[in-house]
Structure 1
Amino acid sequence: MKASLTELAVQAPKVELHLHIEGSLEPEQMFELAARNGIKLPYADIEAVKQAYQFGNLQEFLDLYYQGMSVLQTEQDFYDLTFAYLKRIQADNVVHTEVMFDPQAHLERGIAFDTVLNGIERALQQGEREFGISYRLIMSFLRHLSEESAFETLALAEPYLDRIHAAGLDSGEKGHPPEKFERVFARCRELGLKITVHAGEEGPPEYVWQAIDRLKVDRVDHGNRAMEDPALVRALVDRGYTLTVCPLSNLKLRVVEDMSQHPIASMLEAGLKATINSDDPAYFGGYVNDNFRALIDHQLIDRDQLYSLLVNSFDGAWMADSARAGYWAKLDELFARG
């Protein structure tokens, strides 16, 4: 008897390419860290936090997101946050994760760069030893801040770049096009960093063009609105770009009004190398398997498309070729058997 589509998705080895570690801060852990660090939250209890997780747009989410991370104060806090995420994704059979962190959001609060990095990295190393989850670390710049701030942060990071694999760009897109940081990412390339930026979530297709032509990114985060520009879709396909798509995030932030309207099937049919990720799972209602379940429950993908999404994520991952080939073989075996 063949496994159901949901069973296949659950059983399959998976990669997460679009995850903000600060966005994995569950309400229960937020309260725990607030108590540990003597921080008073503007919520009466955990249920009040969950009620606050109703956003009308990206900016409303970001306001809560930055407020929530105020509880992250020490290296141990960042370790605990990251290790909790790793334990959760182990249950989803995620075997490789590429984790973004926002140093500027912590530097603004007086938290040292190495405090953040050391805590996150220590957990990732332990997760690799104990769970076999390999990782890459992505330092993201906040696009609502200045180019000067990004350069200052990059300078602070330079002594640690042997521990950081890539540079990213996140936060609110509106009014902050990728070209604003063209010189910053040119310097990142000189320093040997991979590049991935958020583009085409709230921002127009032009932002995706800027990401690939001016910033010369290696990957595009989100990219939904690329579908509005057929020439852009062709360019993304022809150049082999991976898109890190986040369905539950898209729904929660009203990039799509209803999950039934999600463009994932159209992306795959157009030949785009789309992948499935959780973005900020504590805020958006689910981790990787939850995102796959949402697509399957709404009958948005079939068996072949599920296989493509899984294969694409390994193809787009910055991991060793030998490991990638091994996981592709496991996927082939699972789908042949199931």
Structure 2
Amino acid sequence: MTLPTLLRAMPKAELHVHIEGTLEPELIFRLAERNGVVLPYASVEALRAAYAFSDLQSFLDIYYAGASVLLKEADFFEMAWAYFERAAADGVVHAELFFDPQTHTARGVAMETVITGLHRACQRAHAELGISASLILCFLRHLSEEDAFATLEAALPYRHLFIGVGLDSSERGHPPEKFARVFARCRELGLHLVAHAGEEGPAEYVETALDLLKVERVDHGVRSLDKPALVARLAAERVPLTVCPLSNVKLCVYSDMAAHRLPELLAAGVCVTVNSDDPAYFGGYLLDNYRAVFDAHPALGRDAAYALAANSLEASFVPAEQKARWKRDLDAVFAAA
């Protein structure tokens, strides 16, 4: 089995994907027409041409504009289902989807509409595609902690439909400690905790996310390499990093894929995983990210592929017995290859 074929065949989990970031231009225009939303772009091609980001904020501006077409439960379902079909083609066996309710409730969309539409797609993905899926509610860090608390309270009637909370949006000027109290409350509720840190923010944000927010996984975390002691800690404690290679290049965290330092994290023993972040905007879904990394780093081979897939399964928020079943499947793929 060739390496590209193996990357597709190996069972793997996706742990860092913003479901709103899977909205392809074609679906944006279709939903806009269905819902009577006027977009500031003349065509699908004009919208794609606008995907020229210089930093995280320039991306977020167009990301929120795209999300404006999501108004009804069917819209959220259709968006998530389109992602799951692509995930199945990429060999994904489990996905933990980030969603941003504040992006929608601020436009008058009910929390119930958002969560039930996404949950219905998760159920169908399991029934028809064999993909296990869960939802993680993310707080927008450029908004206040009070707003995050209000969002949490609004979501609690649907607590059984999401497994954890995260922290996303612009890092600059919004350190993790801004949300220490709401994360403490979420911990009391038994929710899994993750947070974006160390993407455009410094390595110190990773430490704060671990020490004050008590997160179980760090989303991105590539700036951890600026502090060797932090890398050693991540490796010793098996703290997963959900790295998004194509996103990092698109948002200029790295100049190109050959400059990406994922191999260093892997060599240091960190539980690093590969993910797609906002694939409709950043040029590729999960398999595209794997292939881009391995194409740019020819020293990486089968052992690295196995480690990354195994890390993704280990880092998922599923019962140990399910992880063990997927691990056996992973072993079987490599034994046959």
Q: TM-score range by the shorter chain?
A: over 0.9
The amino acid across from 1:137 in the alignment is L
Q: Give the counterpart of 1:256 among 242, 250, 254.
A: 254
The amino acid across from 1:334 in the alignment is V
Q: Could you say which residue in structure 1 is the equivalent of 2:205?
A: 207
Rounded Cα–Cα distance in structure 2 between residues aligned with 1:253 and 1:212 = 24
Q: Could you say which residue in structure 2 is the equivalent of 1:291?
A: 289
Q: Could you say which residue in structure 1 is the equivalent of 2:332?
A: 333
Structure 1 position 322 matched with structure 2 position 299: no
Q: How many residues align?
A: 336
Identity in percent: 54
CA RMSD of aligned residues (A): 0.8
Report the CA distance between 1:299 and its aligned residue. Answer: 2.3
Rounded Cα–Cα distance in structure 2 between residues aligned with 1:280 and 1:255 = 15
The amino acid across from 1:83 in the alignment is W
The amino acid across from 2:87 in the alignment is I
Q: How does 1:1-338 map to 2 (within 5 A)?
A: 3-300=1-298, 301-338=300-337
The amino acid across from 1:264 in the alignment is L
Rounded Cα–Cα distance in structure 2 between residues aligned with 1:336 and 1:80 = 37
Deviation per CA, 1:144-168: give whole Å up to 9, x if none: 0001100111111111112110000
TM-score (ref. length: structure 2): 0.98
TM-score (ref. length: structure 1): 0.98
Deviation per CA, 1:245-303: give whole Å up to 9, x if none: 00000011111111100011100111100000000000001001000110111125221
The amino acid across from 1:128 in the alignment is H
Rounded Cα–Cα distance in structure 1 between residues aligned with 2:157 and 2:36 = 32
Rounded Cα–Cα distance in structure 2 between residues aligned with 1:299 and 1:152 = 45
Q: Which runs of 4+ in 1 moved over 3 A?
A: none
Report the CA distance between 1:235 and its aligned residue. Answer: 1.4
Uncovered stretches (5+) of structure 2, i.e. residues with no partner: none
Uncovered stretches (5+) of structure 1, i.e. residues with no partner: none
